[in-house]
Structure 1
């Protein structure tokens, strides 16, 4: 696909006030999210009487409500101005993290308040993500969606890497409570920035006359009526089951048993992070006419680090495979988000996005649950090879569907500019 703007035009988008505010808000919010997990984990474990089961309960209290409330988040974001939904979500997340910080600093942290604060944070995330997908289309003209998603991806990756590099040291230097407080302040800053967006003229609304169930049924019809959409979500759901098994359990096991432990595994994760930074730069220029087919094919190389780990390859080759996987995942994200934002009607976009997110998340925990028994019965390395084979198989199956292969990008010059 030809580029109507060029790289200079892509980067010039940061001078557009509404997009610049959204970019700044997401960059700050993701940085806060990058600091929080390590601070929460070490903060909980440092509490008097805390055990591994305490941490598991706190993390589950955050993760389960996020999944459970995603569909409701999509309905809310299609009914209300999305910048207000995002403002509320960031504000609630800020309050939850400030409460967690206060509990860590005072050492008064009974389990029930910890669970409640974590659950509130998870619900805030469920409200935020469907609104985020929709608001990009509200803020950015149709012909600039690809550039907008690439720039947002760049900001997100920089924040993720900064969080990965700085959070551990910050916990050691100033303590988990103060780091969680810093995260809370970052979420509050993001809320203020999103508030300044004010008004999203491109957003439709299904109106208040419909019930939540009716809105969910309408969103489901939009979702299943597009073969490319439900096939790609089903494929990615299975892929994420393999990813969670490999990165959450099997990879660390192999690193501990055969590669010297945490330093080697950190190198693998760093390789993927570097790959994601490279991928978002490449995504500016890669604008295929068949974006869903190309995105699906890009998931094939993501099997490389799992297979290399499974066959006992040298560390440098595993890191290289992780770097390639990071590149592919990031380009995939830009192509996918742009396609969804372009193809789905604005009044249904957040609900469809919530079904997309739910599908992508729901099998991940199953992968982690199955990984342990598989490591015991067949061994961690054969299980990793199986994860790689699963990624390849499901990706090739997805490409067989005509909707995935044939969806094309319309000529950007034929798309009317939103007034």
Structure 2
């Protein structure tokens, strides 16, 4: 709901597309900058405690946004500052998700699959609901509802029955940050996947998002783009469901299928699709992306010791955010040189190449998860 409400609110306030970019970009920048610190804090003070604090901060921030838009037109500087703080809070929240899933789910892969299905359906329904509410009542109502979800989240997290965690406090903050990096470097399969994803996330995921949106809009209009994004979300729900049921002893080999399927995403808009072809192609891409996400999350959660999981996961997320942001920044300049459709074909080929590299690198191809690990409760 946030991108819709924030975009409409900033545009109505007269700050234009540049203002929208600053507002959304400040949130993303804060998330990327603070993610590593969020991982350390989650390991230092327990994940649930940091997640509740983050939810309460975001509740206050977004309630403030609702009040500002209800009272008039807030300044762009205030909007950017508030969204930056919200991004910092999200960086405190997100690493804890990795360690919380093994604590609340007896079947880790199934738990990740359920989360992915829920996220995909929210991705379909949230923007549509926000669009209707913004049209009927203005952005302040959407921000009010949005803020309330954080209060609900904090209550639900507080109600979870978890085994009391042992907090490590005899290592300095910087020492814990360095320890997380050492654990990250020590696992060849982990840094191999992240290294390959630096190219995949930049030139396949990040770069293709703005160019694909422009191609689809130019041929099928904004309605076509909306239908395509809905199909991507529905594909994500399907991919999460499939990942719940499909298990394999070599998870990263299995997960390479997801990377290959998502490579369809940039290719489809380059082929002048009709609406049906776009929906089918992007549903396939969404299925692949969700399938990989579940397999990857489960692999990390079952291979990394619980006391280090939040920090290692934070390195993973921070790297992914940076490379995808770089891809979005490079999309326009590269397209002006190569043309949009050739660039999308290149993105598809590179995506398939990266999927093949997952199979070619011994550390990723040979990684094996014992049969009991997927049902490990942490």
Asked if TM exceeds 0.5, the reply is yes
Aligned-residue offset at 1:199:
4.3
Q: CA RMSD in A?
A: 1.9
1:146 matched residue in structure 2: 109
2:18 matched residue in structure 1: 53
Distance 1:60 1:105 in 2: 23
Aligned-residue offset at 1:198:
5.3
> TM-score w.r.t. structure 2 length?
0.94
* Residues 1:279 and 2:273 are matched in the alignment: no
Aligned-residue offset at 1:415:
7.8
Aligned with 1:298 (options 226, 235, 258): 258
How many pairs are equivalent? 377
* Residues 1:188 and 2:151 are matched in the alignment: yes
Aligned with 1:159 (options 95, 104, 122): 122
Report the 3-state secondary structure (helix = DSSP H, G, I; strand = E; otherwise coil) of the residue aligned with 2:307.
helix
Aligned with 1:239 (options 192, 200, 211): 200
1:351 matched residue in structure 2: 311
Q: Tell me the alpha carbon deviations over residues 11-62 of structure 1, each in whole angstroms, 9 at most, x when there is no partner.
A: xxxxxxxxxxxxxxxxxxxxxxxx2210111011111x42222222211221
* Residues 1:329 and 2:294 are matched in the alignment: no
Decide whether aligned partners of structure 1 residues 274 and 108 sit closer, same or farther in structure 2, where only a CA change above 3 A counts: closer
2:94 matched residue in structure 1: 129
1:84 matched residue in structure 2: 49
* Residues 1:95 and 2:57 are matched in the alignment: no
2:160 matched residue in structure 1: 197
Do the aligned partners of 2:43 and 2:307 also contact (CA within 8 Å) in 1? Answer: yes
Aligned with 2:360 (options 400, 404, 409): 400
Do the aligned partners of 1:224 and 1:230 also contact (CA within 8 Å) in 2? Answer: yes
Do the aligned partners of 1:139 and 1:200 also contact (CA within 8 Å) in 2? Answer: no
Aligned-residue offset at 1:163:
0.5
* Residues 1:36 and 2:17 are matched in the alignment: no
Q: Tell me the alpha carbon deviations over residues 103-143 of structure 1, each in whole angstroms, 9 at most, x when there is no partner.
A: 111114123321221111100110111011111122234xx
Aligned-residue offset at 1:414:
11
Decide whether aligned partners of structure 1 residues 219 and 246 sit closer, same or farther in structure 2, where only a CA change above 3 A counts: same
Do the aligned partners of 1:70 and 1:127 also contact (CA within 8 Å) in 2? Answer: yes
Decide whether aligned partners of structure 1 residues 415 and 137 sit closer, same or farther in structure 2, where only a CA change above 3 A counts: closer
Do the aligned partners of 1:97 and 1:184 also contact (CA within 8 Å) in 2? Answer: yes
> TM-score w.r.t. structure 1 length?
0.85
Distance 1:398 1:89 in 2: 35
- Give structure 1 stretches of 5+ with no counterpart: 1-34
Per mean C-alpha deviation after superposition, the further-off stretch among 383-392 and 69-78 is 383-392
Q: Tell me the alpha carbon deviations over residues 204-228 of structure 1, each in whole angstroms, 9 at most, x when there is no partner.
A: 43x2222222111111111111111
Q: Tell me the alpha carbon deviations over residues 344-395 of structure 1, each in whole angstroms, 9 at most, x when there is no partner.
A: 0010000000001011111112111111112222211111111112211222
Do the aligned partners of 2:4 and 2:127 also contact (CA within 8 Å) in 1? Answer: no
Decide whether aligned partners of structure 1 residues 94 and 79 sit closer, same or farther in structure 2, where only a CA change above 3 A counts: same
Decide whether aligned partners of structure 1 residues 413 and 162 sit closer, same or farther in structure 2, where only a CA change above 3 A counts: closer
Distance 1:136 1:416 in 2: 11
